Amino acid sequence: MSDQLSTLLSEERRFPPSPAFASEAVATQALYDQAAADPLAFWEAEAKRLDWSTPWDSVLEWELPHAKWFSGGQLNVSANCVDRHLAGARRNQAALIWEGEPGDTRTLTYWQLYQEVTRAANALLALGVKRGDRVAIYLPMIPEAAIAMLACTRIGAVHSVVFGGFSAESLRDRINDAQAVCCITADGGYRRGQILSLKRLADEALAGCPSIHSCLVVHRGQGIDPTACPMKEGRDHWWHRSLEAQAPDCEPAAMEAEELLFILYTSGTTGKPKGIVHTTGGYLTQAAATTRHVFDLKDGDVFWCTADIGWVTGHSYVVYGPLANGATVFMYEGAPDWPARDRFWSLCAKHGVTIFYTAPTAIRAFMKWGIEHPAKHDLSRLRLLGSVGEPINPEAWIWYHLHIGRERCPIVDTWWQTETGGIMITPLPGVVTTKPGSATIPFPGMDIELVDTTGTPVARGGGFLTIKSPWPGMLRTIYGDDARYYETYWSRFPGRYFAGDGAKIDADGYWWILGRVDDVLNVAGHRIGTMEVESALVDHPAVAEAAVVGKAHDLKGQAIAAFVTLKEGFTPSPSMRDELREHVAVKIGAIAKPDDILFAADLPKTRSGKIMRRLLRDVAEGRALGDTTTLADPGVVAKLKAEYESLE
């Protein structure tokens, strides 16, 4: 066992809930007991907290790998996230408080959000978007991102949000895979003081997207010149003009519980991202239930989840979960260090954020920047902190606890995935004692089990994370490829969903997530497939062969290391390295640029021609080959990886 991991597992510090927090907590021990006694009754009770226009006939129909939750039931997501909060005082409560990077702000009450969403829904209908049609959303973090998502759900259109940091090519591939008919983008967005012109990238993408008939363009404002934005006659329409022409009133479509809600593309072990399919009733039930219990949501809370809307965390915990609960969401457009490194803390103080949910990579950056930045601000309204996206090292956890939570706020470390739709392993604040670095125990109603390479359950120790029973927010399939859905998730360990993560369970039954054991990297909390980066590299005319592995990185968790062999006639050079990195940025997006590119005459292969990634990881991390004495935490994952690879 590595030193770091043994410290982790012998981590002595325990943080029991404070009596004051526990006495007022939303969650109770009874939730665990009820869910253990009758998981379906537990989920049914959670589903009943939503508004359904038609009640369901059965809670769950399960025929592996296909689950149907709340069959026969009908509901509308936008009606649940907006309309039902209009009856009482909440009508005039802020639904969304937003701040742009340059400092411009907007607040939308639930009533104002209702008007925007219904106008946008009517605008989509006017463009000929129908129930079941796919709509691509390629926007910066502005209120219109949430409005566009909700407008789609209102008319039963299926959104596919594409992260604004992805390239034109990535957008094009996602639009074509989903056969989207409409694209919603913006003339700009701010990032580190620069204006990113998403519309220009969208234009490049749309030139290769025959299924698209219309494009709505949000004018970002704040100094961005709309006349500089090229508009294509007949296809492009300004968002504000289209909305102005519509009435603020639109009947919500009564959607079947199992009708498609959204597609979200995520990286897997092949070069082609997978369109993860989520449906309506089960997804919203889990998003709403987890938001309420995990974040201890109460009236008066201001909830800030820092994720971009382009990732699943932005779907479930910026938009659907909090709004379904009638919360006030805070949303910020830009970078955490712009114009200075205290921006997040100044935002927390200024907007009275009470619940703050971010990724370990951000926390590690804050640590590096120094405690003087949070120390300058009044963070006394914060009462709960969350972490998501990658394992949080105990040092970062303790720093978060001391300098942001000021020893007062419980921390919830939440494990889940794009595929799970919502949180799966997490402490419930006020109930569960936390240990720095552990996501603690499964959320009530979740049937999660660790198994060894043969699929035999492991009660204590290390293994592969699997899920034994269906859960409401689970993915239903991979868009357009049901065979791949079965193959990817359900075939490795028969009868079980395999998450792709390795984990350990300690003597107290607490879960410690170790990271991916497949060829998926987690770079600064973003999922990137090694094969995607390899395909982007070999697409360059100079590249003969490429192999990509992850290497441990202090801030990002993992960094991307690429081994490249060049074709005859090309020679390695610093400029070639830059060119290849740029090529990956153009093919995928800047987040996938390799940190290191090593030129090699040959790549190490097995006799059958398989690249020996394990060796390359050793090289990338500067380990002596075969040497196991110096293994740090990633070494443990490497071992699990090797075990996992030996399964193939």
Among 67, 353, 362, 439, binds ligand WTA (CB under 6 A): 439
Residue 238, CA distances (Å) to 205, 208, 213 in order? 18, 21, 15
Among 77, 312, 404, 615, binds ligand WTA (CB under 6 A): 312
| Cβ 561 to ligand WTA shortest distance, Å | 18
Among 291, 417, 488, 558, binds ligand WTA (CB under 6 A): 417
Helix, strand, coil shares of the chain, percent, nearest 5, are 35, 25, 40
Between 313 and 352, how does the x/- string for binding to ligand WTA read (CB under 6 A)?
A: x---------------------------------------
Q: How far apart are CA 616 and CA 536, in angstroms?
A: 19
Among 172, 516, 587, 617, binds ligand WTA (CB under 6 A): 516
Name 236's Cβ contacts closer than 8 Å, sequence gap at least 6. Answer: 214, 215, 216, 217
Task: Write the DSSP assignment of 427-446 as a string of letters.
Answer: PPTTTSPB-TT--BSBPTT-
Q: Which of 142, 135, 182 is nearest to 164 (CA)?
A: 142
501 scored as a contact of ligand WTA (CB under 6 A)? yes
522 scored as a contact of ligand WTA (CB under 6 A)? yes
411 scored as a contact of ligand WTA (CB under 6 A)? no
* Exposed e or buried b per residue across 336-364, where buried means at least 16 C-beta atoms within 10 angstroms of its C-beta: bebeebbbbbbbbbebbbbbbbbbbbbbb
| Cβ 432 to ligand WTA shortest distance, Å | 14
Q: Which of 276, 324 has the CB closer to ligand WTA?
A: 276
Q: For 267-310, where are the E strands, in sequence order? A: 274-279, 302-305
User: Quick one: 203 exposed, middle or buried, by C-beta within 10 A (0-12, 13-18, 19+)?
Assistant: buried
| Cβ 366 to ligand WTA shortest distance, Å | 17
Q: Which of 312, 576 has the CB closer to ligand WTA?
A: 312
Q: Which of 156, 268 has the CB closer to ligand WTA?
A: 268
The stretch near ligand WTA (CB under 6 A) out of 44-52, 131-139, 210-218, 497-505 is 497-505
Among 98, 114, 415, 471, binds ligand WTA (CB under 6 A): 415
Q: Which of 496, 516 has the CB closer to ligand WTA?
A: 516
Q: In 10 A of CB 380, how many CB atoms?
A: 11
Q: How far apart are CA 138 and CA 528, in angstroms?
A: 19
CB 122 within 8 A of CB 105: no
635 scored as a contact of ligand WTA (CB under 6 A)? no
527 scored as a contact of ligand WTA (CB under 6 A)? yes
Applying the rule CB under 6 A, the residues between 387 and 406 that interact with ligand WTA are: 388-391
The stretch near ligand WTA (CB under 6 A) out of 91-99, 174-182, 378-386, 416-424 is 416-424
Distance of CA 53 to the CA centre of its chain: 30
518 scored as a contact of ligand WTA (CB under 6 A)? no
515 scored as a contact of ligand WTA (CB under 6 A)? yes
The stretch near ligand WTA (CB under 6 A) out of 38-46, 83-91, 499-507, 627-635 is 499-507
440 scored as a contact of ligand WTA (CB under 6 A)? no
416 scored as a contact of ligand WTA (CB under 6 A)? yes
Distance of CA 610 to the CA centre of its chain: 31
Q: What are residue 217's phi and psi, to 5 degrees?
A: -120, 115
CB 348 within 8 A of CB 356: yes
| Cβ 388 to ligand WTA shortest distance, Å | 5
Q: How far apart are CA 476 and CA 418, in angstroms?
A: 12
| Cβ 409 to ligand WTA shortest distance, Å | 17
556 scored as a contact of ligand WTA (CB under 6 A)? no
266 scored as a contact of ligand WTA (CB under 6 A)? yes
CB 355 within 8 A of CB 301: yes
Binding site for ligand WTA (CB under 6 A): 266, 311-313, 388-391, 413-418, 439, 499-501, 513, 515-516, 522, 527
